Structure 1
């Protein structure tokens, strides 16, 4: 069974700690509680308020943030709190009782152009997934109800989902100016109705859990690890803003060759293969001092 895992994340406010979850715990809803009485509809928040140092509890779809009183320091209690949250969720504890709430979640979705004319990026004001997913056919999309339904549009070629956005690649049979509104409204309605974007078991089935990714990373040689870290820190943020992604594929020390996979808006883009290949190539050559000579970019 897929279990909840909690990761502790510090914030810029030293009185607040975020406890991030590997699975969603609400239907894209957020709640703020200032005391145990306000938290009547959240058994989890009520349990946390029994801890004497808890001042305020924030519950969102993918993390719980807690503000503390100054009677303790987080370094002394954060591990215990993380364990308590993990145990509560894995025992089937209720996060928020919304049985009496029928209103839709307010959702905003807007379309954003990308450097690839075949791809539009549909950005939501809610986090949609906690990992990265790409689907190039309806068969591949069986773990994503959202992607599966999007493939029923005859012009949809591939789908890339990350963080709070969906990048859709179309076939040439349709022009974006005629179908953008339809796709945007579909995604908006899908999220508002609390439907599942990615199945709970998808990360495990697709080898995409943090644990699996960490294992894959640890199995790499030292140079490959350096390459992955450079891609994650310097390159991914730039391509993500354009609705795309780049993944490390392999490194050949004999040929000094790096292979990367382009996903989302980057895949098949007339300009991105050349631009990214040369940009990555120059960066890796400069930062790895002779270990890399060539980068080969593969469309995902």
Structure 2
């Protein structure tokens, strides 16, 4: 098994491409080790000293390190942990774990049509591009013209995330949906 790695715009996050499916659909975000019990793979990765966060996409894994460690020191251990997991035959997610969803928050109310358009643009234009960088952006809410988005994986804590939100996503949404006036990040 050959696992490729790619840098991301976030210097604290590295993208691992195992060359096979990680999740059938959706994403799974583990911003810290406390939620990793539902994933044998996430547990294995968090066992490496210096890992601060883990994120799964359909064909990639992003790992965020703590500031105290250097990639040169933990990258070999991470490659080993990922390889061991896939060779073990264990599932990525425990069988009793909830199936990954679209990641978008539900929205009910008078702005339902606008929210459908926002989610559609996020799914077709934004999320595929962000996945290339090892992250994900999901809809969290819409209120009085403001779209609230949740950033995950390499996007969470990325130095260029504010620029991506303001110059990229906000301009795109405002262009196609005149009711959108601003985009703001939220922490969940």
TM-score (norm 2): 0.90
Which whole-Å CA distance do the structure 1 matches of 2:105 and 2:164 have between them?
31
Is 1:225 the counterpart of 2:129? The answer is no
Q: Shift in Å at residue 192 of structure 1?
A: 1.4
CA distance in 2, matches of 1:285, 1:270: 23
* Matching residue of 2:11: 117
Residue 127 (structure 2) aligned to one of 219, 226, 236: 236
Q: State the SS of the aligned residue for 1:297.
A: strand
* Preserved contact between residue 10 and residue 159 of structure 2 (Cα < 8 Å): yes
Query: Which residue pairs with 1:49 in the alignment?
Result: none
CA separation of 1:127 and 1:158: change in aligned 2, threshold 3 A = same
* Residue deviations 1:222-255 (CA, integer Å, cap 9, x gap): 1111100000000011110010100000001x2x
Q: Deviations over 1:144-200 (max 9, x none)?
A: 011112112221111100112110000011111222122112201210121221012
Runs of 5+ consecutive residues of structure 1 not aligned to the other structure: 1-106
Paired residue for 1:86?
none
Quote the Cα distance in structure 1 between the aligned partners of 2:61 and 2:90.
Answer: 15
Offset at residue 270 of structure 1 (A)? 0.7
Structure 2 match to 1:139? 34
Higher relative contact order, chain-length normalized (CA < 8 Å, sep 6+): 2
For 1:280 and 1:209, locate their aligned partners in 2 and report how far apart those are by CA, in whole Å: 22
For residues 111-133 of structure 1, the C-alpha deviation after alignment (integer angstroms, 9 at most, x for no partner) is: 11100000000101110112210
Q: Tell whether the 8 Å contact from 1:217 to 1:225 is kept in structure 2 after alignment.
A: no
Distance 1:186 1:196, change over 3 A: same
Question: Structure 1 residues 284 and 165 mapped into 2: Cα distance closer, same or farther (>3 Å)?
Answer: same
The answer to whether the 8 Å contact 1:145/1:199 transfers is yes
CA distance in 1, matches of 2:94, 2:119: 27
Query: Residues 42-71 of structure 1: CA distance to partner in whole angstroms, max 9, x if unpaired?
Result: xxxxxxxxxxxxxxxxxxxxxxxxxxxxxx
What SS does the aligned partner of 1:228 have? Answer: helix
What is the TM-score of this pair, normalised by structure 1? 0.58
- After superposition, the Cα gap between the structure-2 partners of 1:242 and 1:215, relative to the gap in structure 1 and judged at 3 Å, is closer
- Residue aligned with 1:129, SS: coil
Cα RMSD (Å): 2.1
Structure number, greater radius of gyration:
1
Aligned length: 186
Q: How does 1:47-196 map to 2 (within 5 A)?
A: 107-130=1-24, 131-196=26-91
